[in-house]
Structure 1
Amino acid sequence: MQSMYFTEEHQLFRNSLKDFLQKEVVPHIDKWEETGTIERFIWKKFGDMGYFGLATPEEDGGLGLDLFYTIIFLEELQKINSGGFAAAMWAHAYLAMTHLNKEADSFLKEKYLRPSVNGDKIGCLCISEPFGGSDVAAMRTTAVKQGGHYVLNGSKTFITNGVYADYMIVAAKTSPELGNKGISIFAVDRNSEGVTANKLNKLGWRASDTAELAFDNVKIPLENLMGDENMGFSYIMEHFSLERLVMGVNAHARSEHVLDYALNYMSEREAFGKSINKFQALRHRVVDLHADIDMCKEYNYSVAYRLDKGQYVVKEATISKLKSTKVADEVAYECLQFLGGYGYIEDYPMARNFRDSRLGPIGGGTSEILREIISKIIIDKKEYRPATV
């Protein structure tokens, strides 16, 4: 299909990525879903193919490509029916590495970013806390400067890649008395003394490791501060736009894939002498789902275009995640129903998709929090501005 956003080069990249995923990833997915462990070799293969460096400048070892290569990367990851595997990959490349790309100096880029691009190091982003959740300003983790280092104390939870990561991008309060204006960002080695991780047992995203992390007097070198001290909240808010767009794109791609699967099934399944895709009640439900997916996809592409041009799209990216994940949940429910009893059987992909999809309206800011953010923008006229490093 012709697109105003994708060139012939984009399409060639998509085809190559599809082939790579089918050959190198799909044969292992069921095992990784069962064990909850993604083997290290696949990270290196992704790095060797350049997939972790799509958004990283060439001078830092990446490819420096436009955002629509990232969109393709996200979309194709959703079509192998493992939200957990996809999350592990994009949480590394677009949560941890985004902060390294934007806030790290040359020392930290050499230590963490280049190995991340190459697939030699795995990263995670640590913001959410047991008592704070989506309320970033309420975080209790502190980093107190003592001599030649900071001392980190506190905990984080719901951290994708938290168990198996080599390093963590950690938000902590360096000036607690300043509230959200006293938060800073640090790069922390996972094997630092005083770091412990507890793997969480999740409903879905079974292939990925999601952790609760504890920090007990962890010493962080002063040079591991990212950007300016006490500017962390602004950095986090700015990068939330990309994270929420990522989850919006994930949602529309997952929905599109699962509806295609359901339509293929419906064309082959017969009842009362005809395929079930001939029954008007089902046909019209399919049309509504298709229309909702299409609207989300086109909206998400338009937001990606604006973000790629450097525009500040907090409201638009928040809407992307809010609406796209809601539609994805509806599609997951309806498509499981289209398969009838087979939709409830683990041998078919619908059950896993149903579980994986449910995280969409929760992770990266719950839908309730997103509505409050949007209401502040459109009702209270609050303005969010980008950070300056």
Structure 2
Amino acid sequence: MKRYCYEHEHLMFQEAFRAFLQQEVVPFRDEWREAGIVPREVYLKAGEHGFLIPQAPESLGGIGIDDFRFQQIVAEEIGFCGETGFMPQLHTTMVAPYILNHGSNELKQKYIPKAVSGEYILAVAMTEPDAGSDLSGMRSSAVDMGDYYLLNGTKTYISNGICGDIFVVAARTNPEKPHAISLFVVEGDWQGFRRGVKLNKMGMKSQDTAELFFDNIKVPKENLIGEEGQGFKYLMGGLAKERLICAAWNTGTAEYAFELTKEFVCERKVFGKYLSEMQNTQFKMAELRARFDMAQAFVDTLVANINRGDYDSVAASKAKLLSSELLCDTADEGVQLHGGAGYMDEYPISRVYTDSRITRIFAGTSEIMKLIIARSIFE
């Protein structure tokens, strides 16, 4: 299906970023997967080309392009290249906006330029062992000590947990109010900050995910993002873009899985016929193609709406829900149509299958998405 959402400058950016991924990322997928981490150099190279935080103003080193289509392109192309460890969409769309939108000028000047250049790798630390989607169960605390906050707590399942330099950390600042959460910028080399071992996951092997420990860290008052106790509002305010960028990543990855399967069934013969000539294969692929085009059109519409200032978190939840389910279905059908080969790790479809499963969990589980959508129907 031909898409009309991108203009000339977007297509140029897409072409440049796709070429960058083919040169600097795709050849090293197996190497990074074996190492379990992406080298810092790839972020530096991405920063040199202007692919990180393009929405940052020129005064902070960015391009100053507040057009969400550029962030959409980054997420789609990352999905389509088949590499799940390098996550500029996390860096650009999910973390940087907390500082850009709510941080003081001092915070922006201190951290954003080096994040744009790739010298700083960003991460967000919200999830805890007993508090995932339910942030009211958060136990990490930041106590006002006058000149600083004393931060204590544990975070888990943190993407970029090993390679990250700068963390946006959520902590409770008023134990009597469930949603009195504040956000802080914490540097990874501060005294009292400790990283756990890299967690061994089902998929996304090249993405470094870890536990983080905060033991009496003295956080300067100026590293508070926005106002104390307003962190929950800031987190909720970013969900529309975060979940929409997840949907863009999902559709890009689904397209990658679809193309892998299409190539295989066009080359594989069974009982003297190509798999692509069999009606079952044709029907399966036709259904996936139809669902993919519908999901893509929905995502494109929501991106256009965001550019108009319409931040519809319910619609973004729908996109995240449907695109993650579509991705998992595409990967599952791909493995099935590959037959025994699909279960072999040497075939990329096998990796897509294990990598994609987390998309129904992170950034809000499918069940949470359904709950949000249901509330919009019945309230």
TM range (shorter): over 0.9
Match 1:193 to one of 186, 191, 194: 191
Match of residue 50 from structure 2: 50
Match of residue 306 from structure 1: 305
What is the alpha-carbon distance in structure 1 between the residues aligned to residue 208 and residue 183 of structure 2? 22
What is the alpha-carbon distance in structure 2 between the residues aligned to residue 329 and residue 74 of structure 1? 17
Cα displacement string for residues 223-278 of structure 1 (whole angstroms, at most 9, x for unaligned residues): 00011111110100111111111111111111111111211111111122221111
Cα displacement string for residues 113-157 of structure 1 (whole angstroms, at most 9, x for unaligned residues): 110001111110011111011111221111110020000011111
Match of residue 164 from structure 2: 165
What is the alpha-carbon distance in structure 1 between the residues aligned to residue 373 and residue 58 of structure 2? 35
User: Is 1:68 aligned to 2:69, yes or no?
Assistant: yes
Cα displacement string for residues 259-301 of structure 1 (whole angstroms, at most 9, x for unaligned residues): 1121111111112222111101110111111111111111011
SS at match of 2:288: helix
Q: Is the 8 A contact 1:82 1:356 kept in 2?
A: no
Q: Is the 8 A contact 2:162 2:208 kept in 1?
A: yes
Match of residue 151 from structure 2: 152
- When structure 1 is superposed on structure 2, of 169-178 and 324-333 the one drifting more is 169-178
SS at match of 1:53: coil
Cα displacement string for residues 155-187 of structure 1 (whole angstroms, at most 9, x for unaligned residues): 11111111221111011111121221x111110
What is the alpha-carbon distance in structure 2 between the residues aligned to residue 202 and residue 64 of structure 1? 37
- When structure 1 is superposed on structure 2, of 192-201 and 324-333 the one drifting more is 192-201
- When structure 1 is superposed on structure 2, of 118-127 and 1-10 the one drifting more is 1-10
Match of residue 276 from structure 2: 277
SS at match of 1:154: strand
Q: Is the 8 A contact 1:251 1:328 kept in 2?
A: yes
Match of residue 351 from structure 2: 352
Match of residue 142 from structure 1: 141
- When structure 1 is superposed on structure 2, of 93-102 and 107-116 the one drifting more is 93-102
Shift of 1:17: 1.2
Gaps of 5+ in 2: none
Cα displacement string for residues 293-319 of structure 1 (whole angstroms, at most 9, x for unaligned residues): 111111011111111222121101111
What is the alpha-carbon distance in structure 2 between the residues aligned to residue 261 and residue 37 of structure 1? 24
What is the alpha-carbon distance in structure 2 between the residues aligned to residue 273 and residue 2 of structure 1? 34
**What residue identity is the alignment partner of 1:184?**
S
Q: Is the 8 A contact 2:79 2:251 kept in 1?
A: no
Matching of residues 253-264 of structure 1 within 5 Å: 253-264=252-263
- When structure 1 is superposed on structure 2, of 245-254 and 58-67 the one drifting more is 58-67
What is the alpha-carbon distance in structure 1 between the residues aligned to residue 73 and residue 163 of structure 2? 26
Match of residue 114 from structure 1: 113
**What residue identity is the alignment partner of 2:10?**
H
Q: Is the 8 A contact 1:53 1:61 kept in 2?
A: no
Residues matched between the structures, number: 377
SS at match of 2:64: coil
Percent identity, please: 36
SS at match of 1:51: coil
What is the alpha-carbon distance in structure 2 between the residues aligned to residue 4 and residue 80 of structure 1? 22
Structure 1 segments of 4+ aligned residues over 6 angstroms from their partners: none
Supply the RMSD in Å over aligned alpha carbons.
1.2
- TM-score w.r.t. the length of structure 2 is 0.97
Shift of 1:59: 2.8
Q: Is the 8 A contact 2:38 2:85 kept in 1?
A: no
Shift of 1:58: 2.4
What is the alpha-carbon distance in structure 2 between the residues aligned to residue 3 and residue 301 of structure 1? 9
Match of residue 78 from structure 1: 79
What is the alpha-carbon distance in structure 1 between the residues aligned to residue 39 and residue 255 of structure 2? 28
What is the alpha-carbon distance in structure 2 between the residues aligned to residue 179 and residue 341 of structure 1? 50
Shift of 1:2: 4.7
Shift of 1:76: 0.9
Q: Is the 8 A contact 1:187 1:224 kept in 2?
A: yes
Match of residue 21 from structure 2: 21
Matching of residues 220-259 of structure 1 within 5 Å: 220-259=219-258
Q: Is the 8 A contact 2:172 2:181 kept in 1?
A: yes
Match of residue 287 from structure 1: 286
